[in-house]
């Protein structure tokens, strides 16, 4: 295991995408995005994750994720390449080839997929790279949440620097959470009351919830933000950073700052038994 090989446990990072969509990056930046079409959440030496989004309504700036594609890249000494693809109303509990693990190689059992709520919640564990992914379907959209070893998240080149989990949404694709157009009969006060029931702290998750309920006109849109907060509570190594507030700011790290080459030894993490 990593700890046995290196004398220390791995550090972990958390990223999530949910709702219309809101992205919490590895560096605790919280953006509401207008991204339409296919955008990479992650693209590194081990893992590729792409979210495909479309407008929540005709003419709306806000979008929602309708499709997720996750590729666990081939590691000759560990696992076969595995592809997982989810779409709204089709959240399979298996990889595209029908398998539920990483294949017959020595580390095949260190990649697994399972569900406790078929059609609504899937969890993929990739122990060989210190990664857990949760995909949910709620209110007609898909949510993505990941806990990943920091060294794995850093394993990408300058050509792979467009990753929403790393840099957040590009400035041209960011929406202010005040840029919302109300649909239906739900007022802002009603939306706040609905969101307050499950999100008592008025943090970024709460404000994202209000945004989603107003944009959609659907009270069920309180659920994605609540689930994202639940995942963050489980995945964040530092719970002091659980709640982010609109005034929180930080300087995004450049890919040059984030890059740190992985040693050959590190590539064997949990594939060595």
The number of distinct structural domains making up the chain is 1
Is position 273 within any domain? no
Is position 250 within any domain? yes
Least confident of 47-56, 171-180, 189-198: 171-180
Is position 175 within any domain? yes
pTM: 0.88
Is position 163 within any domain? yes
Domain limits at 69? 2-268
Return the HEC string of the chain: CHHHHHCCCCCEEEEEEECCCEEECCCCCEEEECCCEEEEEEECCCEEEEEEEEECCCCCCCEEEEEEEEEECCECCCECCEEEEEECCECCCCCCCCCCECCCCCCHHHEEEEEEECCCEEEEEEHHHCEEEEEEEECCEEEEEEEEEHHHHCCCCHHHCCCHHHHCCCHHHEECCCCCCCCCCCCHHHHHHHHHHHCCCCCHHHHHHHHHHHHHCCHHHHHHHHHHHHHHHHHCCCHHHCCCCCCCCCCCCCHHHHCCCCCCCHHHCCCCC
Least confident of 64-68, 182-186, 237-241, 263-267: 263-267
**Tell me: the pLDDT tens digits for 34-64?**
888 999 999 999 999 999 998 876 666 778 8
Instruction: Give the CATH number, domain containing residue 205.
Output: 3.40.1000.10
């Amino acid at each position: 295991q990593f700890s046995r090989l290196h004398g220390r446990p791995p550090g972990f990072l958390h990223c999530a995408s949910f709702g219309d969509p809101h992205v919490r990056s590895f560096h605790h930046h919280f953006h509401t995005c207008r991204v339409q079409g296919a955008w990479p959440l992650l693209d590194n030496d081990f893992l590729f994750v792409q979210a495909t989004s479309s407008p929540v309504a005709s003419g709306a700036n806000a979008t929602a994720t309708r499709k997720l594609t996750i590729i666990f890249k081939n590691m000759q000494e560990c696992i076969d390449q595995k592809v997982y693809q989810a779409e709204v109303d089709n959240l399979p509990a298996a990889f595209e080839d029908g398998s539920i693990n990483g294949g017959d190689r020595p580390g095949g059992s260190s990649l697994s997929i399972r569900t406790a709520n078929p059609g609504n919640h899937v969890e993929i564990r990739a122990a060989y790279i210190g990664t857990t992914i949760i995909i949910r379907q709620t209110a007609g959209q898909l949510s993505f949440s990941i806990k990943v070893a920091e060294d794995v998240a850093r394993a990408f080149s300058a050509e792979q620097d467009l990753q929403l989990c790393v840099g957040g949404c590009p400035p041209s694709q960011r929406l202010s959470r005040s840029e919302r157009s109300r649909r239906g009969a739900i007022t802002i006060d009603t939306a706040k009351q609905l969101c307050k029931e499950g999100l008592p702290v008025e943090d970024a998750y709460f404000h994202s919830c209000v945004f989603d309920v107003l944009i959609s006109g659907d009270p069920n849109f309180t659920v994605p933000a609540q689930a994202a907060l639940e995942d963050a509570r489980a995945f964040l190594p530092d719970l002091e950073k659980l709640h982010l507030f609109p005034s929180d700011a930080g300087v995004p790290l450049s890919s040059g700052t984030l890059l740190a080459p992985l040693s050959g030894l590190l590539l064997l993490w949990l594939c060595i038994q």
